[in-house]
Structure 1
């Protein structure tokens, strides 16, 4: 049984590397690690805002992926599967940090019409971006707001805004239609935005 990848001009695909790993060529998994470890670290830093924990998440994610590699199905890209492992690991840490009852989305967010759009104007999100990058307390409020979302909304938000998956990929992951994904993402972003705006306005 070979333990090294044969030289080739073009880079092997993720699926080829997965198959090679399952066949015992463990160097193939090292290639996957080099290919995606920075992306996993970025996801973890974005969600946890803690470098040490982010490094831990990288190790946990790839160890978990290696152990569960035989369960990977090809319905979605390998990177999507890997990033889900990473985001779930981050969410578990966030839950451990901040235990609080889950509040229904409708209670914490603006009212919605039947088409998923809000009934009244809300504060523009874009001006908050620079402050989010600089204000640790506000960053913690952001993560708390995300953690407080119902699971079906939080999962879509994390995949879209942290994993940067396409609407189509998220739809496949969640077994939803693309319009349903867009509606959930719209509502999740509005709920988080509303909580941050209330915090900035001193109402929280």
Structure 2
């Protein structure tokens, strides 16, 4: 494990793992766990347990170790595995019908009323309801669209960082983000229109 003076040596630990050292495998998981859980929490598909998804990431990491060539730091390589695992889970989720106002909880419906009335959303006093509403709107997007919005707009990552994580060039990131934002805006407008019916 890393100490305050010396950072964790992923390369040395990886060599021990490749030689079959179980303690080294545990140390490697322990060192990467905070990073993986942070990624999973930020992109957690509904109805998937955080720990289950983190375990799946580590399972993929260990089964693909022979593919790791060392061109990028190990934590970066594992981050890509974590992001793609989350995207895969989002794709596996059944396609839900369009979100309708009737699908919203009472709190979410109240939040929509507050926001569409041009008042300050903080006055609603329930940021959790706003987050859940946003989550339901994001669930209506494709996994790739959802991920690009999550990374760029919610996590404030740069175009280059998003491109690295998703394996896309910056032009593709810009185009996907533009289209995803338009789709999200249309979903919002549809909910808002239901309010006035």
TM range (shorter): 0.5 to 0.7
Distance (Å, rounded) in 1 between the aligned partners of 2:12 and 2:32: 15
| Offset at residue 62 of structure 1 (A) | 0.8
Pick the aligned partner of 1:167 from 139, 143, 159: 159
Does the CA contact (< 8 Å) of 1:133 and 1:139 recur in 2? no
Pick the aligned partner of 2:18 from 17, 22, 27: 22
Does the CA contact (< 8 Å) of 1:43 and 1:87 recur in 2? yes
The runs of 5 or more residues in structure 1 that have no matched partner are 102-126
RMSD: 4.1
Q: State the number of aligned residues.
A: 171
2:91 pairs with 1:133: no
Scaled by the length of structure 1, the TM-score of the pair is: 0.58
Distance (Å, rounded) in 2 between the aligned partners of 1:80 and 1:161: 21
| Offset at residue 197 of structure 1 (A) | 5.0
Q: Which is helix-richer, 1 or 2?
A: 2
Where does residue 34 of structure 2 map in the other structure?
38
Where does residue 184 of structure 1 map in the other structure?
176
Where does residue 116 of structure 2 map in the other structure?
none
2:82 pairs with 1:86: yes
**C-alpha spacing 1:47/1:143, structure 2 compared with 1 (3 Å):** farther
Distance (Å, rounded) in 2 between the aligned partners of 1:163 and 1:98: 26
The 5 Å alignment of 1:100-139 reads 133-135=128-130, 137-139=132-134
Distance (Å, rounded) in 1 between the aligned partners of 2:52 and 2:154: 17
